[in-house]
Amino acid sequence: MKRISILLLLCLPFFASAQDKVDEKMLKPSNTSENDKVVTFTETMPEFPGGTEALYRYISKEVKYPENLKKLKIEARVISKFIINKEGGIENIQIVNKVEQEFAEETIRVLSKMPKWSPGLQMGKPVNVIFTLPISFKLK
């Protein structure tokens, strides 16, 4: 048990730095000026049209399970990270965990098609916000 704790403590800086590297790449949306920043939390967080339940319905309706992975009975949980920009658009979609390529591609396809969100607000003004969204691919 002691060895496991030490191993976890030694790995912690690696995971923290890996997370920082993902965030560094996402500091600026593609269509913004030098002065714009991306934040993680805002006074009013971005919201999918219709709220969280509508987001879940959208994902379950749009996601298509990759046929070859279905035949192989492979399941996964894809963790995506993206920016919801000041206009509510989705940018800089990244998959932050290792998954089969087909799962990553399907996640990016679905997220790219999402309708505009209500943007995050800070002091009443729209801001760019990093959003993390896990999508599970499970067989029934």
Q: Tell me the pLDDT tens digit for each residue of 21-75.
A: 444 444 444 554 544 789 999 999 999 999 999 999 999 999 999 999 999 999 9
Q: Tell me the pLDDT tens digit for each residue of 81-90.
A: 999 999 999 9
Domains and CATH numbers, the chain: 2-137 (3.30.2420.10)
SS3 label, residue 1: coil
Place of tokens 């799962």: 103
Residue-level pLDDT at 36: 76
Residue 130's contacts (CB-CB under 8 Å, 6 or more residues apart) are 23, 26, 38, 39, 40, 81, 82, 83
